[in-house]
Structure 1
């Protein structure tokens, strides 16, 4: 590989991913000093069933020059009480582990990082992990025990984290409350066009063959000779 080719490839890939993620309402991304290899982001939990619903979690992602062949790193910038979050904010999550099967951990290659993954895959996995912790091998043992044995207390602690996180919402930024896109309002012109098109498509005329076939019968069911169908039969 030519010098710099890996870095150029990483930046090209990250530029594409950044453009797509900037369309998503559940993540807010800035580059640290315009560095494509260092992302500052706000990861939002927009799920009424989640203990972390309404949270705006500051985090950072770092990428190496040979991304996507090596996974990025992810770290929460605020303490989060969660079975799979270390005290320094890093996560115990398979998708951030180097590619390949790990016999020691029991992780299959399909669970770990691969170049087919991307930043969106990581962020969605983090959101899923927040709501569905892996408590068999916790990074925070106390949180794992509380999640298992005292869910009400765990949910209260999660709520406290959410309240603290709201202090990090940027000024002027409006937190979404739902991920459902609001349909555009229907204008009067659109409705008029719909009915005009519908009138053109409707056909209230008789069938093409009906007039000829029914012409041999009068209203009483008689044929041209005056004989009814019953008399002929």
Structure 2
């Protein structure tokens, strides 16, 4: 299914490159469509204002049927971020019921999610963490019981992150700059990067047929 995943990712990357969405930046890592360099921008009027946090998204070969992973590249103190930088958020969990966390498949990943919707959810999570089942217990406890200390740690992170702001990049200073109210421009439907749902199904059918053919030839 990797060829179908390549086309879906290329389409989504094209959309974000053509119409950048304030709140994050994206770029391919070493021209690898399955690994993206991400910059998360701290939202104005939050403790993350002015910050620029580098992260990496890695996509499976069967995307969008399974979710990518998201990992901050530097230390990031947050209830929903593990010590190694990996993010814990429901929409990036495999789409199965999990009795341990209490999450149902409906709360988790589904193929209708896009990179844009994932990143918007992550930006929202920064200022509104889920402390009910924290990945970082210390951060979760501090957020609930000593918010001032928590905020001070985050502000120090923000200052440290400013060294990673790309040259010439303008950090939004108000809500209008962060999420402008403007329609997305139309993109040429004939663009080779685009792949509609019917084409994606045909692409996957071709891949699966190719795999079956290979197995038959091997068994023979």
Cα deviations by residue, 1:172-198 (Å, 9 ceiling, x for unpaired)? 222222342689xxxxxxxxxxxxxxx
Does residue 30 of structure 1 match 2:27? yes
Q: Distance in 1 between matches of 2:103 and 2:9?
A: 27
Q: 1:142 aligns with which of 135, 138, 143?
A: 138
Contact 1:21/1:27, CA 8 A, preserved across alignment: no
State the partner residue of 2:185.
Answer: none
Cα deviations by residue, 1:106-126 (Å, 9 ceiling, x for unpaired)? 112221001111111211121
**How far is the alpha carbon of 1:74 from its aligned partner?**
0.3
**How far is the alpha carbon of 1:161 from its aligned partner?**
0.6
**How far is the alpha carbon of 1:152 from its aligned partner?**
1.1
**How far is the alpha carbon of 1:97 from its aligned partner?**
0.6
Pick which of 15-24 and 65-74 moved more: 15-24
TM value normalised by structure 2:
0.76
Q: 2:15 aligns with which of 15, 20, 45?
A: 20
State the partner residue of 2:86.
Answer: 90
Does residue 154 of structure 1 match 2:161? no
Q: Distance in 1 between matches of 2:106 and 2:138?
A: 29
Q: 1:77 aligns with which of 73, 76, 81?
A: 73
Q: Distance in 1 between matches of 2:116 and 2:60?
A: 17
Any stretches of 5+ residues in structure 1 without a counterpart? 1-5, 184-233
Does residue 109 of structure 1 match 2:105? yes
Cα deviations by residue, 1:148-205 (Å, 9 ceiling, x for unpaired)? 111111111111111111110112222222342689xxxxxxxxxxxxxxxxxxxxxx
Does residue 63 of structure 1 match 2:55? no
Any stretches of 5+ residues in structure 2 without a counterpart? 182-220
Query: SS at 1:142's partner residue?
Result: helix
Which of the pair has more CA radius of gyration?
Answer: 1
State the partner residue of 1:10.
Answer: 5
Of structures 1 and 2, the one scoring higher in RCO (CA 8 A, sep 6+) is 2
Contact 2:101/2:133, CA 8 A, preserved across alignment: no
Contact 1:83/1:134, CA 8 A, preserved across alignment: yes
Task: Report how many aligned residue pairs link the two structures.
Answer: 177
Q: Distance in 2 between matches of 1:138 and 1:105?
A: 11
TM value normalised by structure 1:
0.72
What is the root-mean-square deviation in Å for CA atoms of aligned residues? 1.6
